[in-house]
Amino acid sequence: MIVIPKERIAKYKEKGWWQEVTLDDIFKKHTADHPDTMALVDAPNTMELYGREPTRLTWQQSEERVMRYAAMFTRQGLKKDDVLIVQLPNIVDLSIVYLTCARLGIIVSPVPTLYRDNELKDIAQQVDAKAIITASCIGKYDHAALALRLQAASPMLEKVFCLGNVDDSTDVVAVEAELLNYTDDDAALVMDAANKANVSADEIFTICWTSGTESSPKGVPRSYNEWLSIARLISEANEVQSNANFLNPFPMVNMAGIGTCFFAWAINGGTLVQHHPFDLGLFIQQIRDEDITNTSAPPTLLNLLLQNDDMLKGINFDRLRTIGSGSAPLSEWMVTGYQEKYDVHITNLFGSNEGSALMSSYGVIADPVLRARYFPRFFAQSKDGSLTTDGFEARIVDPDTEEEILEAGVIGELRVKGPAVFSGYWRAPEVTARSFDADGWFKTGDLFQIAGEDKEFLEYFGRLKDVVIRGGMNISPVEIETLLMAYPPVADVAIVGAPDNIMGERVCAFIVPKKDQVVKLEAINNYLRDDKGVAIFKQVERLEIVDSLPRNAIGKVLKTALRDQLSK
């Protein structure tokens, strides 16, 4: 299924930004070039996660497993353009399912393992899902029962596929048993199905879902070419080499897991090592044991590790040279610390399911202090001219006047366009129309300003709808959060607007103090005023001390949950 306008496809292919090469083409080439090289690796805790011993597959073994999955899906009636909901943890079979769907033209709709009846029912109805694949149990939760309830509530959903132990009395398709039924005749069956599908790189591969931290989830369809554009940008920014070993700590359900890890692995080859659920000790162990060269981690985790040198002992930093981080502002101290102590480059990543793709890499901004704070405004300023921008463009616009902002120091909305940016939300023409401006730029809803002596940088200032409006004055939460993260007693912080009958909103800080530290409201404001010179109207007026901040699967603070606490 192709939802991208024909003129856009023609333009990007003419410029060489998009090609005719599919994910399946890339996978088959790696398999032919290095069949015996390790491709996919489970985490050591797979038995505890869903009741199966960890698996390691070479590229050739991965191909053989894809063929078995393809035969199973075809025998069970799945075909091109059918939508398959995928609710699996980060395991080897998750990648296999994606590769299988790419071969057959089945559309993948990946969902977090934490989603339950309400979220799944809404998604199944939006996409007219034909099937769901999950594990019988993930952790201690009965996902087979969840999938069967979804099937009962969704008339279009015909099949439930389950990995793990399956009750024979149910209508669930037992995946392991089906895979064992593969015969020589199935090879011809799969080849015929793949030939009939004739998958194009312009067709939808995934329908992912927005995080829903501020509104209900929306479907974001992305083609193979759109994903491959992101992967090329990520690979360049993260200095990925051909023998890379990727460690993926993020659920493979959106940009963080699929774009930065799965597709980066797919185009570069190497090994994809999975991690789930997040466990700090196991994460460090895998970096050591699997000789990891590339990974990503939230800023709070990188801050913690840099403060505890013993946890990093034994890591081969001659191999692990680049770590991606984002979803929250980066500490200048952290980015500088890794570079000076370990010669590790922290890449500052800013992206979204829709295709925002700002990347502040060592190759573009070598100074760690600047890299922590800024993104390049012009994306072809690599020192050696090697940065592949793949046609990605960004500009800052006044959301009230729709005029482009060209001067430094004026906050406006980030607008993006290019081959990595999606074409519109799934079956939501009105929402799509509101999300793009008259010139075809996607309205990200993110606030930035132009910065730098030569106006060469972009600086993030928070979400357009996340602004605290106090007495008619707009206050960027990110600005205050960034300053307070540098305040020694603070381990973590989130700023939200507390409702106020007089001022509309007042600045409220949810703060996690460092161990054995005390945080007081007066001391915070003295620091902001005296040490940082912050205007008085931006000072904190309400302080909430908490043990931790609520975050989603990719590390973003759930500010809706914090605002809900204030309204109780």
pLDDT, tens digit, 9 for 90 and up, residues 144-177: 999 999 999 999 999 999 999 888 777 899 999 9
Q: Is the pLDDT of residue 98 over 90?
A: yes
C-alpha span between 113 and 131 (Å, rounded):
16
φ and ψ of 417, to 5 deg: -155, 165
Bridge partners, 442 (sequence order): 416, 436
In this prediction, residue 384 carries a pLDDT of 43
Bridge partners, 459 (sequence order): 374, 449
C-alpha span between 208 and 533 (Å, rounded):
42
| Residues 413-427: tens digit of each pLDDT | 999 999 999 999 999
C-alpha span between 11 and 18 (Å, rounded):
9
Q: Find how far residue 148's CA is from the centre of its chain.
A: 28
Query: Whose CA is closest to 94, among 75, 69, 126?
Result: 69
Q: Is the pLDDT of residue 34 over 80?
A: yes
In this prediction, residue 385 carries a pLDDT of 42
| CA R_g for the chain | 24
Q: Is the pLDDT of residue 235 over 60?
A: yes
The mean-pLDDT minimum among 79-83, 331-335, 428-432, 497-501 falls in 497-501
Report residue 389's pLDDT band, with 50, 70 and 90 as the boundaries: low
In this prediction, residue 283 carries a pLDDT of 95
Q: What is the mean pLDDT of the chain?
A: 91
Average pLDDT over residues 435-442: 95
In this prediction, residue 386 carries a pLDDT of 41
Query: Whose CA is closest to 91, among 257, 281, 290?
Result: 257
The Cβ of residue 11 has, within 10 Å, a number of other Cβ atoms equal to 14
Average pLDDT over residues 402-418: 94
User: What type of residue sits at position 162?
Assistant: C
Report residue 214's pLDDT band, with 50, 70 and 90 as the boundaries: very low
Bridge partners, 474 (sequence order): 469
- CA angle at residue 405 from 403 to 407, to 5 degrees? 150
Q: Find how far residue 401's CA is from the centre of its chain.
A: 32
In order of their start, the domains of the chain are 23-199 (3.40.50.980), 231-463 (3.40.50.12780), 467-567 (3.30.300.30)
Beta strands at 271-274 and 245-248: parallel, antiparallel or unpaired: parallel
* pTM for the predicted model, two decimal places: 0.85
Write b or e for each residue in 337-364: b if 16 or more Cβ atoms lie within 10 A of its Cβ, otherwise e: bbbeebebbbbbbbbbbbbbbbbbbbbb
Query: Whose CA is closest to 27, among 275, 292, 257, 265?
Result: 265
Report residue 381's pLDDT band, with 50, 70 and 90 as the boundaries: very low
Q: Which residues contact 531 (CB under 8 A, 6 or more apart)?
A: none
Report residue 564's pLDDT band, with 50, 70 and 90 as the boundaries: confident
CB 30 within 8 Å of CB 449 = no
Q: Is the pLDDT of residue 472 over 80?
A: no
C-alpha span between 427 and 454 (Å, rounded):
43
Average pLDDT over residues 314-330: 89
C-alpha span between 86 and 106 (Å, rounded):
11
Percentage of the chain modeled with pLDDT above 90: 75
| Residues 350-374: tens digit of each pLDDT | 988 999 889 999 999 999 999 999 9
